[in-house]
Structure 1
């Protein structure tokens, strides 16, 4: 399997009167599907926690409850595999009332282009663990919301990390600018990190600060800036397929900085935390993310990936994936940035 990708799921949150989970009348429940008291309580708790205020006794309510029941069954299956220490756990999260198709269509919108296998030399003397969060070059975990913009986030986050590594103050750059303006990509409907990089490389467009071009979680009209406007421009980039070369990828991560990668994130709809060791089963890339570190000191060596689904997902917004066997598939551009002031 080459590369992987994620799908971004849009949380359904409609505005209705406050939830009332107890003391519901027979009239309210008469036309709903049969369900156990325990399942009813779990669904009620989920709706309260994630502010799902769809009306009771409606087709929407019943449909979401069925998807919720499917999520419980999926999690039970995913948790049934033999568990090593610190293995991933799966269960109820903000995506549990979405169908698999909705999750894919809303969140797993990255595509991975073919790239040549990495043929460079391996770096010797790598540290046993490394994390770019310790170097102060990463912005906090973001939330792309109901927009398939993971490809744009991974590109921008890698560039702003490289900018900070070069000695500039860490500054969040505009994801919306890439979302609106990157040709060949489709905004919130999906895109490719390589196409976005090629656009930046060919046009020498400068990424402006997020404060000047804020994120809206929807595709808009491209806002152009003059060449005299300040910003950060890409000088060059390289894209490689690291399948079967995870040690080489460690060297690139340490040498080049955080890497934009695409992974198979089909099972991440139910991910709660821990080290992912199985369940990357869609066989193709669908989600873009930022590879920021690794740790080989424990029983299970793992990669550290910064996601864009908010801090309530996974390990406070991060995913851990086992090193070895190309689990989930990673496809990585290394970044070289030239700063304009």
Structure 2
């Protein structure tokens, strides 16, 4: 039997977004106000960021403070690096409003009643020293959720894409927009839960492709015609036991895992790469 069961690990408040295109700076750019203004203008041009004349000074001040934070963190002994990206003249509060806002209570997922789903990998004894599912072809290219709180849909879809590739050998980019528009148990651009999305996919007989139902970064009426052409289905999902890193390690060794994470900190706003 071709069993396609996805794995879900829940850590904290959901936020999933693409790693924004970064923009490099040098120590010389920090030397004077004039150099900083020039850097800001080059950054605006690079990211095609338009600001009114009245707003530019305020945004420049935010940009300066964010740059100071990035520079300070990068000179500390931390396992990651930050860079100027397209969010560099936004405050952390604005960033969370635009990209992390959700009216869904994720707290019930973390501390409430959770489905007892067992673990299909709990008896695994031999694990690889490392695994990169991107190199194994089980992860599609980077996607951008835009100004829509649809992180739950992207996390759901990535897990389904991964297990389908493992089981069938075919990597198909699936439709987040179908979940945003059609999954009434979730809340579209106002947030959602991966458990409900997995159940939705199972109940309707699968998800259609990204090409058939492309992403629009906003909630629209459900297109039932597009829903009638599913290309990938799942048999169910299971939860990785809480506070069990060994169980999570076993799950990730066998397939890509859907996670929710606390992304409220300022560092993640400018996260660029791991640094080992």
TM-score norm. by structure 2 comes to 0.77
Separation in 2 of the partners of 1:72 and 1:117?
45
1:216: Cα distance to partner? Answer: 0.8
Separation in 1 of the partners of 2:226 and 2:36?
57
Task: Tell me what 1:204 maps to.
Answer: 204
Residue 53 of structure 1 is aligned with which of 46, 50, 53? 50
Task: Tell me what 2:7 maps to.
Answer: none
More helix by share: 2
1:103: Cα distance to partner? Answer: 0.9
Task: Tell me what 1:288 maps to.
Answer: none
Of 133-142 and 214-223, deviating more is 133-142
Q: For 1:125-140, what aligned pairs fall within 5 Å after superposition?
A: 125-140=126-141
Residues 148, 217 of structure 2: 8 Å contact kept? yes
Task: Tell me what 2:97 maps to.
Answer: 105
Residues 208, 232 of structure 2: 8 Å contact kept? yes
Q: 1:45 to 1:212 in 2, by over 3 A?
A: same
Task: Tell me what 2:28 maps to.
Answer: none
1:73: Cα distance to partner? Answer: 2.9
SS of equivalent to 2:168: coil
Task: Tell me what 2:249 maps to.
Answer: 250
Q: Deviations over 1:91-138 (max 9, x none)?
A: 311111111111112222464613479975363221111111222222
Separation in 2 of the partners of 1:147 and 1:192?
15
SS of equivalent to 2:197: helix
Please tell me whether residue 224 in structure 1 is matched to residue 228 in structure 2. no
Task: Tell me what 2:39 maps to.
Answer: 42
Of 109-118 and 258-267, deviating more is 109-118
Task: Tell me what 1:273 maps to.
Answer: 273
Residues 213, 226 of structure 2: 8 Å contact kept? no
1:234: Cα distance to partner? Answer: 2.6
Q: Deviations over 1:296-335 (max 9, x none)?
A: xxxx5xxxxxxxxxxxxxxxxxxxxxxxxxxxxxxxxxxx
Q: Deviations over 1:158-216 (max 9, x none)?
A: 11221121115221111100111112322122222122123333x33421111111111
Gaps of 5+ in 1: 12-34, 276-299, 301-341
Q: For 1:90-239, what aligned pairs fall within 5 Å after superposition?
A: 90-109=82-101, 111=106, 113-114=109-110, 115=114, 121=122, 123-201=124-202, 203-225=203-225, 229-239=229-239
Separation in 2 of the partners of 1:261 and 1:231?
23
**Which structure has more RCO (C-alpha within 8 Å, separation ≥ 6)?**
2
SS of equivalent to 2:201: helix
Residues 11, 260 of structure 2: 8 Å contact kept? no
Gaps of 5+ in 2: 1-9, 21-31
Total equivalences in the alignment? 244
C-alpha root-mean-square deviation of aligned residues, in Å? 2.8
SS of equivalent to 2:224: coil
1:7: Cα distance to partner? Answer: 6.2
TM-score norm. by structure 1 comes to 0.64
Residues 153, 197 of structure 2: 8 Å contact kept? yes
